[in-house]
Amino acid sequence: MTAAEKTALARFVGLAAARINGGFAGEQQEYPFADDAAPGEADGLEQIADDVRCCGHCRLCKTRKNAVPGEGASSPLVMVIGEGPGADEDATGRPFVGRAGQLLDKMLAAIGLSRETNCFIANVIKCRPPGNRDPQPDETAACASFLGRQIQLLQPRFILCAGRIAAQTMLQTAEPIGRLRGKIIGFQSGGLTIPFIATYHPSALLRNEELKRPAWEDLKLLRSALEEAGFGDRLQ
């Protein structure tokens, strides 16, 4: 249905309701309708990004500078999913560009991955919480559809989940990150089952160097799984 058809229908319903209630229709209202997608037309990364930037579904839209939809390859081997934007990400509109992001890029490069060629990087929430506080449940819920659409569109071969908040949100669990990491989990999303590996957030590694060894073991697990699945030739 086109936007014009939706507007005509809405106005007809409004006029009918007014007459049934014994009143009269006022000035014609403007409706923010858009054309439906053509049959078979797929959701696109740019459409999702535009929807994220226009989103006002939770309180974070009032304090953000820029929403951060995500970025990377359109046909990724791995989708990296973190918690949410920090100050640098909020300033630029890009994910993982601060110190933790620079470390993440090095971690990925160590196993042949890159956001330029074979990874897509996103977060469970698309706007920065004030003071980098943990996102609240209603905030992650407001962003869930965006992440779900991205996963359905990208259909990554593997998901690498960075950090406790992201892993607990996606797996709907209160288990600590130490119990979630170090193994491959079958993550269910809209009929897809995607191998899922949780690891520590790069910012945690910057605070505690003792976490670097187990994080490296997680990365080696991911690399081995990619090779066993026949994607070794797509690693750099």
Model confidence at 123: pLDDT above 60: yes
Torsion of CA 61, 64, 65, 71, to 10 degrees: -90
The answer to whether residue 176 is domain-embedded is yes
Is the pTM for the entire model greater than 0.85? no
- Average pLDDT in the 158-167 region? 97
Q: Supply the pLDDT for residue 8.
A: 57
Q: What is the mean pLDDT of residues 126-148?
A: 95
User: Can you give the C-alpha Rg of the chain in angstroms?
Assistant: 21
Higher pLDDT, 42 or 205: 205
23 within a domain of the structure (yes/no): no
Measured CA to CA, the distance from residue 134 to residue 7 in angstroms comes to 41
Is 90 exceeded by the pLDDT of residue 161?
yes
Q: What is the pLDDT of residue 43?
A: 75
Judge whether 8 lies within some domain.
no
Could you give the number of structural domains in the chain? 1
CATH number, residue 201: 3.40.470.10
pLDDT > 70? residue 145: yes
Name the percent of the chain lying above pLDDT 70. Answer: 82
The two three-digit tokens of residue 30, written as one number: 């403007």
Three-state DSSP at 192 gives: strand
Residue 195 has a pLDDT of 98
Q: Please provide the average confidence, as pLDDT, over all residues in the chain.
A: 88
Name the band, by pLDDT with cuts 50, 70 and 90, for residue 54.
very high
The pLDDT of residue 7 is: 53
pLDDT band for position 4 (cuts 50, 70, 90) = low
Residue among 131, 57, 69, 130 nearest 96 (CA): 69
HSE-CB at 148 with a 13 A cutoff on CA atoms is 12
What's the pLDDT at 23? 56
The verdict on residue 20 lying in a domain is: no
Residue 30 lies in a domain: no
As a whole number, mean pLDDT of residues 163-172 equals: 96
Range in 21-30, 52-61, 106-115 the model is least confident about: 21-30
pLDDT at 173 over 90: yes
pLDDT over 90 percentage in the chain: 81
**Is 170 a member of any domain?**
yes
- Show the domain range for 84: 44-231
236 in Cβ contact with 111 (< 8 Å):
no
Per-residue confidence (pLDDT) for residue 226, from 0 to 100: 98
Q: Does residue 83 fall inside a structural domain?
A: yes
Question: Of the candidates 80, 79, 78, 98, which has an alpha carbon nearest to the alpha carbon of residue 88?
Answer: 98
What pLDDT score does 236 carry? 85
Give the residue among 139, 109, 138 at the shortest CA–CA distance from 219. Answer: 109
Q: Is residue 111 part of a domain?
A: yes
Flag the least confident range among 40-44, 92-96, 138-142, 232-236.
40-44
pLDDT of residue 6: 44
